[in-house]
Structure 1
Amino acid sequence: MSERRQATTVGQLPTPAGGDSRVPATLTWLVWLLWVASSIALVAHLRGGAWDLAGVAVVDGLTVVMWVTVTFFSGIVHSYSRRYMAGNQNIDRFFGRVFAFTLVVMVLVAADNLALFGAAWLVMGLLMAALIGHVQEWSQAQTAASLARRYFLAGSALVAVALAALWWVTGATTTSGVASAVGTAPPAVVALAAGTLLLAAMVQSALVPFHAWLLSSMTAPTPASALMHAGFVNAGGVLLVRFAPVVTADARFMLAVVLVGVASALGGKLLKSVRADVKSKLGCSTVGQMGFMIMQAGLGFFGAAITHLILHGFYKAYQFLASGSRVKQKRPTGAKDTGSAGPAGIGVIAVTALAGGALFAVLTGKGTKVDGGLLLTLIVVLTVLHAARGVVTRTSLPPTLRYGAVPLVALPAITIYAAVFRAIEGLVAGLPAVGQPAELTVVHGVIAATFAVAYVAIDRGVHRRSRRLYVALLNVSQPSSDTLLTSTEEYNEY
């Protein structure tokens, strides 16, 4: 099949039965006004500290940074959707749900009252399930929405159990009250609450083995997918940060959080390697990236977890909104775009990765001592290694670009990442228990070494040698069969 080209017509598409509706434009302007207000709140917070509404809500560093992030992503999605959804008979309903989702997330990250937090968590999940099933005429979309709804209701039930247990043992009705009283609560009940919070975060962030709802959600309109992967799944990290005094009460539990993150980071990377379509690859990538986020929270670097979810949100929102441009029709040539790095390439990759880790350590102070910061720096090294290898092995690029430009791009990127990390770390520094990195132990060392070896082995494609493993990964990464669209005509109809 030869590559096809056709002229692209750019212009406003008609909207049926109500083309004069002002809902999309009005809500788009409103969400951008919310972003402006959130930015003003961020500046005001930097100048004057936190504000609170008597046991109902609190506007602290976490609140303002998430407000700015959520409203910005939502503004992009609203703006993109005005053209993407043009011609859809349910465009007003779609915009109403996206805007409502934005408001609910803003309430969630500011909620201090436990009941308000639990209610916002529940409504957030129900709205996302509705967006997944936006196309009512597709039975596949309704099945995907139903599957996601079951997961989200289970996650909400877990959050409710945790909040009820904390209220029962502390008598506090606010997250701030829980933070100050959890130290005197019975350890068994605190462990129960911490365990249910972790499970809820795993469901929300689609960590292995709760990733099925995410991989089955591709029936959602692309803007909804962008909002899901850039915002919704990140709530698992926000949950652990908001209840940091609970999850950090026991060092052994924090180690369990690290193990959960490691399993999903490696699992997502393995699942991505067997998927062929763009959106499924992005979904598996999200599973792995959320594993990194949870891992950072387990190490006690909650500022790094928030930084990770924000930067990952930017990347994934762009990837989904630009996913259509990745689809091409080409004639098979047999030539591969990737090949072996070679001795020179291996040297460039190794030096760039180590230099990136060293630069991060110098700029942030993490990894300069024998403590948990070493593991955070290791994550940076592995990330740079993966990115550098992806460029160096791309044989379609000229050698000068493949070898020379890699460090010139990677090191400034690390500098920007370190600057964002320091800024976020400063904003959340006042939150309870977020400035207490986990104490480094021999077990942490064993986990780090195992993770590094497994990560590099997967990156090198060692796992591809086993056909049985390939089939197992393919099966695990399959979305629910009832959520798959198999008819082109049915897809084009809506």
Structure 2
Amino acid sequence: MTGQGETTTVGTLPTPGTERSRVPATLTRLVWVLWVVSCGALLAHLFSGETWSVTGLVTVDGLTVTMWATVTFFSGIVHSYSRRYMAGSRTIDEFFTRVFAFTLVVMVLVAADSLLVFAAAWLVMGLVMAELVGHVRGWKQARAAAAVARRYFLASSGVLSVGLAVLWWTTGATTISGVATATGSGSPTVLLLVAAGALVLAAMVQSALLPFHTWLLSSMTAPTPASALMHAGFVNAGGILLVRFAPVVTVDAGVMLAIVLVGATSAIGGKLMKTVQTDVKGTLGCSTVGQMGFMLMQAGLGFFAAAITHLVLHGFYKAYHFLASGSSVAHESPSTAKSTGSPGVVGAVVVAITALAGGAVFALLTGKGLESGSGLLLTLLVVLSVLLAARGAVADTSLPTTLRYGAVPAVALPAIAVYAAVYRVVEGLLAGLPAVGQPAELTVVHGVVALAFVAAFVAIETGVYRRSERLYVALLNATQPARETMLTSREDYNEY
């Protein structure tokens, strides 16, 4: 095979040109300065509770400072990582400029109060991300992936613009705060429901929910740092959109129920699609589809603070895994590879107790799920998440039995406590936003969704779903990127 006899040398890679560019170092320092400033704004808001605004243009509130601190931190990590990753590339300055521009646009988006500014930032954010997806111009696959992403993002912007235009026409308001005031009273009109539907659809496209996930799975041509920024930041825009326009999407229980259903479909579908993936990035991509489904589902339940907490913590998780994706490829013999097996009776008991205890800790620390209501479904999601994590750890037979059985609850329960603490902090930061503290009423449909999650968990853990060849083929087809975006030649890949 080509390349087998080549000698690989690891060392410092120079930037082409007579002089080393200062753009990467300068922008990296600038983004860390932005992070420090954002943390200062976050602390100031926490202690003072004040909101700063430029009337009709931007508002710096709890959501703004939370997302500023989160986005600039992720961007700072990506900038720092990219200085080594992109070293030697002739387009390093272009890459850093785009990543920094993306950061600034997202900061504008989360602070925007003007409908026009919000729509413009949404559009520019998508166009910049599409350019990052197709950054390697020498690959026709990268150019094709950029074109696919651009089409989806333009469609999302178009749908969002329709929704915002309808809101302006219906309420006469040109700001998000004005829309919130105008929709806070009275029965929902047909036009208001149309606007809410358009906002939900735009969020689905941007967050790569089923069936709009193809752009995400076709974006693997993007440099790894860009993928990290995409999966840790860009896809979260759908959650930001729903929180900003919570007064609109909560105007009718049917809209909230639809958000739960589309979120649950992607959460379950993403988990199933992940089981048929064999490559690291493809697995992470399917995981993102599922996690974004969870995020929107939490918003649909009326727990907008839980959705923001989820996107922040998922961002940390996914950024780490993308930037560490190279080390995830194991070079070892089968005898030394990680082995898994049945957890056994004792292991099953440990997993079950840990999951129930995790749900109890979350419920006690947050107050969700202690009484009848949609909080029960939120707590069930926590129980299932702990169950999956504990099941994977206990089934790892390469670890000593005592370590597996003892460490699982010792790690899982404090982790849930940290999650609950972050949730309470975010809940406090969002307290001043309109309509974010109105949990949805529990319905029969919510019960069906809960049963679907349990059934999907049982089917995956027992392997029953593998017996259906038709399901396997359907899942495999659903995870295929656009054909023109697939890299099939190793020589072309090695060239870049």
Q: Distance in 2 between matches of 1:184 and 1:370?
A: 27
Number of the residue aligned with 1:32 = 32
Contact 1:226 1:321 in 2 (8 A): yes
Question: How far 1:197 moved relative to its partner?
Answer: 0.6
Residues 171/184 of structure 1: CA separation in 2 closer, same or farther (3 Å cut): farther
Shift of 1:451: 2.1
Q: Which residue of structure 1 lines up, in the alignment, with residue 138 of structure 2?
A: 137
Instruction: Name the counterpart of 1:201.
Output: 203
SS in 1 for 2:59: strand
TM-score by length of 1: 0.97
Q: For the residues of structure 2 that align with 1:138 and 1:384, how far apart are their CA atoms?
A: 41
Structure 2 match to 1:304: 306
1:261 maps to which of 254, 260, 263:
263
Q: For residues 176-255 of structure 1, what are the structure 2 equivalents within 5 Å?
A: 176-182=177-183, 183-184=185-186, 187-255=189-257
CA distance in 2, matches of 1:243, 1:455: 32
**Helix, strand or coil for the counterpart of 2:260?**
helix
| One-letter amino acid matched to 2:108 | V
Quote the offset at 1:59 in angstroms: 0.2
User: Which residue, 443, 451, 456 being the options, matches 1:449?
Assistant: 451
Asked if 2 retains the 8 angstrom alpha-carbon contact of 1:170 and 1:185, the reply is no
> Displacement, 1:449?
2.1
Q: Residue in 1 aligned with 2:17?
A: 17
Q: CA deviation at 1:334?
A: 10
Give the share of equivalent positions with the same residue, in percent.
Answer: 71
CA–CA distance in structure 2, aligned partners of residues 41 and 388 of structure 1:
37
- Counterpart CA distance in 1 for 2:151 and 2:438 is 35
Q: Which letter maps to 1:260?
A: V
Equivalent residue for 2:41? 41
Contact 2:390 2:408 survives alignment (8 Å): yes
Query: Which of the numbers 425, 428, 450 marks the counterpart of 1:426?
Result: 428
Choose from 409, 412, 415 the match for 2:411. 409
1:22-421 to 2 correspondences below 5 Å: 22-48=22-48, 49-182=50-183, 183-184=185-186, 187-333=189-335, 337-421=339-423
Q: Could you tell me how far apart the structure 2 residues matched to 1:443 and 1:484 are?
A: 39
Q: 1:139 to 1:42 in 2, by over 3 A?
A: same
User: How far does residue 13 in structure 1 lie from its aligned partner after superposition?
Assistant: 1.8
Counterparts of 1:167 and 1:364, CA distance in 2: 37
Q: Secondary structure at the residue paired with 2:251? A: coil
Matched letter for residue 466 of structure 2: R
Q: Structure 1 residues 35 and 448 mapped into 2: Cα distance closer, same or farther (>3 Å)?
A: same
Structure 1 window deviating more from structure 2 (308-317 vs 472-481): it is 472-481
Once the two structures are superposed, residues 353-398 of structure 1 have per-residue CA deviations (whole angstroms, 9 ceiling, x without a partner) of 0000001111111111111111111010000000000111111111
Q: 2 CA distance for matches of 1:290 and 1:459?
A: 22
What are the ranges of 5 or more consecutive residues in structure 2 without an aligned counterpart? Answer: none
- Contact 1:338–1:396 (8 Å) recurs in 2: yes
Amino acid at match of 2:158: A
User: What are the superposed Cα offsets for residues 242-293 of structure 1, whole Å, 9 maximum, x if unpaired?
Assistant: 0000000001111111001110000000100000000000000000000000
Matched residue of 2:13: which SS?
coil
| Deviation of 1:473 (Å) | 0.6
The structural deviation recorded for 1:482 is: 1.2
Determine helix, strand or coil for the equivalent of 1:486.
coil
For 1:123 and 1:81, locate their aligned partners in 2 and report how far apart those are by CA, in whole Å. Answer: 22
Any gaps of 5 or more consecutive residues in structure 1? none
Contact 2:188 2:251 in 1 (8 A): no
**Aligned equivalents of 1:22, 1:242: Cα separation in 2:** 38
SS at match of 1:444: helix
How far apart are 1:329 and its partner, in Å? 3.1
Deviations 1:189-229 (A, max 9, x none): 11101111111111001001100000010000000000000
Post-superposition Cα deviations, 1:154-173, rounded to whole Å, max 9, x if no partner, equal: 00001100000000010000
Query: Matched residue of 1:58: which SS?
Result: strand
Question: Does structure 2 conserve the Cα–Cα contact (< 8 Å) formed by 1:169 and 1:185?
Answer: no
Distance 2:8 2:79 in 1: 23
Give the drift of 1:140. 0.2
The one-letter code matched in structure 2 to 1:397 is L
Measured in 1, the distance between the counterparts of 2:256 and 2:435 equals: 12
Question: Which letter does structure 1 place at the counterpart of 2:41?
Answer: A
Distance 2:18 2:430 in 1: 45
Distance 1:32 1:147, change over 3 A: same
Output one character per residue of 1:1-32: Cα deviation in whole Å (capped at 9) or x when no partner: xxx9x999765321112542100000000000
Instruction: Supply the AA of the counterpart residue of 2:319.
Output: A
State how far apart, in whole Å, the 2-side matches of 1:18 and 1:240 are.
49
Q: Is the 8 A contact 2:86 2:92 kept in 1?
A: yes
In 1, Cα distance between the equivalents of 2:188 and 2:239? 25
Residue 163 of structure 2 contacts residue 198 of structure 2 at CA under 8 Å; is this kept in 1? yes
The structure-2 alpha-carbon separation of the partners of 1:403 and 1:61, relative to structure 1 and needing over 3 Å to count, comes to same
The whole-number CA distance in structure 1 between the counterparts of 2:23 and 2:462 is: 50
1:306 CA drift (Å): 0.1
Deviations along 1:127-165, whole A, 9 cap, x unmatched? 000000000010000000000000000000011000000
TM superposition shift of 1:57: 0.2
Aligned residues: 491
**Residues 188 and 252 in structure 2, CA contact (< 8 A), matched pair in contact too:** no
User: Cα distance 1:245–1:18, how it changes in 2: closer, same or farther (>3 A)?
Assistant: farther
Partners of 2:160 and 2:246 lie apart in 1 by 14
The residue identity in structure 2 corresponding to 1:142 is R
- Of 232-241 and 394-403, more deviation after overlay is shown by 394-403
CA distance in 2 between partners of 1:19 and 1:344 (Å): 63
Cα RMSD, aligned residues only: 1.8
**Does structure 2 conserve the Cα–Cα contact (< 8 Å) formed by 1:169 and 1:186?**
no
Q: Helix, strand or coil: the match of 2:327? A: helix
CA contact (8 A) 1:352 1:388 kept: yes
Q: Distance in 1 between matches of 2:337 and 2:77?
A: 38
In structure 1, C-alpha distance between the alignment counterparts of 2:19 and 2:464, rounded to whole Å: 55
Q: Specify whether residues 461 and 7 from structure 1 end up closer, same or farther in structure 2 by C-alpha distance, changes over 3 A only.
A: farther
Deviation, structure 1 residue 332: 4.3
Q: Take 1:336 and 1:220, find their aligned partners in 2: how far apart are those partners?
A: 29
Q: Which amino acid aligns with 1:27?
A: L
Contact 2:270 2:288 in 1 (8 A): yes
